[in-house]
């Protein structure tokens, strides 16, 4: 049984996490709208996973994250995507952007379980399931290079594979992709940070492709910050 605690000052947000935990199975969840009460319980219970909102009326979740017991598996839940950058600095395992959809929640849980080492038998691939016409198609996240908006659809470009056209919004697509690997860089584009060959003059050059992706004015600062952190983390791992 995976022991979890969720802290969020919005009861509706907590009820969604509660429902998703029941659906995932083998999860024991306690919820708190009071950050103080939630932190007290965390220090007494030492749960496996903590779901923590960032922007709460009385407290900032980023500050609370720094007070968590060592070894706590932290998953942030927030409506403010800009905090994903700061999340790296407190070793968050994942970052769920509200509104949270179940497939994205499920992937975050699987990532957390692998981090905890509780189920080594689970597949190590990060995958998403997309609706394509009248069937579901499984897409390996590591194969995705970028996503382009096409009216009411998105076109998913994959390394060495056929593109996938799915009826899903860019906002929904953004929410099911891991924030440490993908970023919205334009109203019409989401890019895999791993697929970037170079960045120059507000254009992203995709590795092994003749495509360039524009970086929108409103996204440029966040992109520069996240890409710098991504490159630094990649360098430290090598």
For residue 206, is pLDDT > 70?
yes
Inside any domain, residue 95: yes
Inside any domain, residue 121: no
Let me know whether 213 and 109 are in one domain: no
- Write the CATH number for 171: 2.40.50.1020
E-strand ranges in 13-126 read 27-32, 49-53, 73-78, 94-97
**What local confidence, expressed as pLDDT, does residue 234 receive?**
65
**What is the rounded distance in angstroms from the CA atom of residue 112 to the CA atom of residue 207?**
30
Let me know whether 112 and 6 are in one domain: yes
Let me know whether 157 and 105 are in one domain: no
Inside any domain, residue 203: yes
Q: Which of 116, 135, 168 is the last residue of a domain?
A: 116
Q: Which of 87, 116, 145 is the last residue of a domain?
A: 116
Q: DSSP readout, 51-82? A: EEESB-SS-BHHHHHTTSPTT-EEEEEES-GG
**What local confidence, expressed as pLDDT, does residue 82 receive?**
57
Inside any domain, residue 151: yes
Let me know whether 75 and 138 are in one domain: no
**136 φ, ψ to 5°?**
-95, 135
Let me know whether 85 and 155 are in one domain: no
- Write the CATH number for 83: 3.40.50.2300
Let me know whether 11 and 110 are in one domain: yes
**What is the rounded distance in angstroms from the CA atom of residue 56 to the CA atom of residue 214?**
34
Let me know whether 202 and 103 are in one domain: no
**Domain containing residue 169:** 127-237
Q: Would you call 79 exposed, middle or buried from its count of C-beta atoms within 10 A (0-12, 13-18, 19+)?
A: middle
**What is the rounded distance in angstroms from the CA atom of residue 206 to the CA atom of residue 203?**
10
Mean of per-residue pLDDT scores for the chain: 86
More confident residue, 66 or 83: 66
The arithmetic mean of pLDDT across residues 52-68, rounded, is: 88
pLDDT band at 80 (very low <50, low <70, confident <90, very high): low
Let me know whether 10 and 93 are in one domain: yes
Sign of CA dihedral 133, 139, 145, 149: positive
For 156-193, the pLDDT digits (tens) are 999 988 999 998 999 889 888 888 889 999 999 999 99
Let me know whether 201 and 229 are in one domain: yes
Inside any domain, residue 189: yes
Sign of CA dihedral 122, 125, 128, 133: negative
Which residue bears the tokens 């083998």?
26
Angle between helix axes 11-24 and 102-116 (nearest 10 degrees) is: 70
CB 112 within 8 A of CB 49: yes
Let me know whether 131 and 219 are in one domain: yes
Inside any domain, residue 122: no
**What is the rounded distance in angstroms from the CA atom of residue 6 to the CA atom of residue 173?**
24
For residue 232, is pLDDT > 70?
no
pLDDT band at 148 (very low <50, low <70, confident <90, very high): very high
Domain count across the chain: 2
Let me know whether 85 and 173 are in one domain: no
Q: Which of 84, 116, 148 is the last residue of a domain?
A: 116
Maximal C-alpha separation, the chain: 55
**What local confidence, expressed as pLDDT, does residue 172 receive?**
87
For residue 93, is pLDDT > 60?
yes
**74 φ, ψ to 5°?**
-105, 130
**What local confidence, expressed as pLDDT, does residue 151 receive?**
84
């Amino acid at each position: 049984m995976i022991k979890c605690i969720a802290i969020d000052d919005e009861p509706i947000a907590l009820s969604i996490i509660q429902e998703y935990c029941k659906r995932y199975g083998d999860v024991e969840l306690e919820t708190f709208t009071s950050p103080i009460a939630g932190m007290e319980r965390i220090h007494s219970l030492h749960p496996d996973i903590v779901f923590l909102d960032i922007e709460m009326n009385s407290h900032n979740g980023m500050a609370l994250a720094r007070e968590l017991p060592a070894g706590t598996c932290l998953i942030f839940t927030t409506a403010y995507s800009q905090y994903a950058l700061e999340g790296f600095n407190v070793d968050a395992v994942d970052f769920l952007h509200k509104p949270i959809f179940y497939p994205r929640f499920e992937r975050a849980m699987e990532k957390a379980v692998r981090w905890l080492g509780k189920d080594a038998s689970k597949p190590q691939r990060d995958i998403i399931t997309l609706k394509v016409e009248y069937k579901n198609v499984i897409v390996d996240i590591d194969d995705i290079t970028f996503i382009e908006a096409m009216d009411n659809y998105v076109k998913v470009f994959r390394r060495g594979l056929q593109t996938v056209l799915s009826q899903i919004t860019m906002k929904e697509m953004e929410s099911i992709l891991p924030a440490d690997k993908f970023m919205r860089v334009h109203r019409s584009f989401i890019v895999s940070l791993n697929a970037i060959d170079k960045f120059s003059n507000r254009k992203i050059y995709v590795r092994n492709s003749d495509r360039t992706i524009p970086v929108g004015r409103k996204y440029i600062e966040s992109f520069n910050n996240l890409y710098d952190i991504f490159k630094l983390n990649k360098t430290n791992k090598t």
